[in-house]
Homo-oligomer: A and B are copies of this chain.
Amino acid sequence: MVTIKEVAKLAGCSVATVSRVINNNGYVKAQTKTQIERAIHELNYQPNEAARTLYKRKSKMIGLLLPDISNPFFTLIARGVEDIALAHGFQVLIGNSDNDVDKAKDYLSTFNAYNCVGVIATAFADDQIEKLLVSQGIHYVFVDRVKDEGNGISMNHFEGGQLQARLVLEGKPKNILILHLDLNIEAFKLRIDGIKQELNNYDVSYYDCSAETLKNKSAFISLVKDLHIDSIICSNDVLAIETMGLIQQFQLKVPEDIQIVGYDNIPFSAMTFPQIATIDQSAYFLGQQAVSILLKLNKNCVVNQQDNTLKLSTKRRGSIRFE
């Protein structure tokens, strides 16, 4: 490994001067600078980030903690984070929490041990995580912050649920099934609240059941038939796609017999037939935004509140019976 010492030797100057040109700070005579640059190039020198980090007590890494990168919604966030981090010269250290608080804590400690500039994560129901972050003085941005307080990008899941409900309402539903994932995750819980509040304004029946039900395919289909379900609202697109595949497999037509609504607008939701109607959260943008906020926090800049709320948009697509 080539070190700054060797560069200094070749350029005939001190390491301090080399450091000055690398970091482009302090005065350096033009000629000296040229010599140093030549030496750097000749030796193919690259500064050791560990040494820099040690001195500065901050690396140029961002810790990214997501529940599971396998879900395309989180993948999109990751990609957004990655791209904008790269543009600012930052690297991304990644972790999957699987919604496990202990795993999350471990990753957070590790990110800290590596002197990350900060952490981008999904909000946890359990506020231990946030306390840990605050107590350690780690900068953080929660990408799906629900409340107004604290740093993070807030997404209005309640409103998102209402939008989902309105989408199925266009298709004149009678019996609606709300198919949900883990309700300990506040986002899912809030969406259901929004759905129900909206549905209560109309003369429709609704039922809810856990996605676990899908595991027994025929039992699920029986349930759907017994309840005369004509519309299904899902916690996210992955679940919606899975549900639609299952329904079609049992010869039911989407949207004629049953309409389906998802959430997230992952790319695959637009590739199925019919396409899945959904609520867009602009995940990629969310990831990008999170990095911007984190970087601002790091410079002690004021974070503009209006940048911090993500707008939702409705994607009307073939899986619903709209006019």
B50 close to A54 (CB less than 8 A): yes
Query: Which residues does chain B contribute within 8 Å of A61, judged by CB atoms?
Result: 93, 114
- Specify how many copies of this chain sit in the oligomer: 2
Partner of A50, one of B59, B238, B274: B59
* Alpha-carbon gap, A82 to B92, bound state (A): 13
State whether A241 touches B114 (Cβ < 8 A): no
- Interface positions of A from 251 to 277, Cβ below 8 Å from B: 267-268, 270-275
Contacts A70-B79, A241-B268; A114 near B95 (Cβ below 8 A): no
Main SS class of interface, A: helix
Closest residue on chain B to residue A270 by CB atoms: B245
Is A110 an interface residue, CB under 8 A from the partner? yes
Of B50, B244, B271, B275, the residue contacting A114 (CB under 8 A) is B50
**B275 with A245: CB separation less than 8 A:** yes
A298 on interface, CB distance cutoff 8 Å:
no
Return the contact of A92 from the options B72, B93, B275 (Cβ within 8 A): B93
How far is it, in angstroms, between the C-alpha of A241 and the C-alpha of B245 when the chains are bound?
12
Comparing A24-32, A41-49, A221-229, A303-311, the segment that makes contact with chain B is A41-49
Is the C-beta of A113 less than 8 angstroms from some C-beta in chain B?
Answer: yes
A245 and B267 in contact, given A72-B70, A75-B69, A82-B69 (Cβ under 8 angstroms): no
Q: Which residue of B lies closest to A247 (CB)?
A: B273
Q: A113 near B271 (CB under 8 angstroms)?
A: no
Q: Report yes or no: A69 in contact with B72, Cβ–Cβ below 8 A.
A: no
Known A-B contacts A51-B54, A93-B92, A272-B241; A69 and B59 likewise in contact (beta carbons under 8 Å): no
Q: Is the CB of B70 within 8 A of A267?
A: yes
Chain B CB within 8 A of A57 CB: yes
Kindly list chain B residues whose C-beta atoms are within 8 Å of the C-beta of A92. Answer: 93-95
CA distance A72 to B275 in the complex (A): 19
| CB neighbors of B among A157-207 (8 A) | none
Per-residue CB contact flags for chain A residues 78-99 toward chain B (1 = under 8 Å, else 0) read 1100110010000111111000
Question: What are 5 A-B contacts with C-beta separation under 8 Å?
Answer: A50-B54, A59-B114, A91-B114, A92-B95, A93-B93
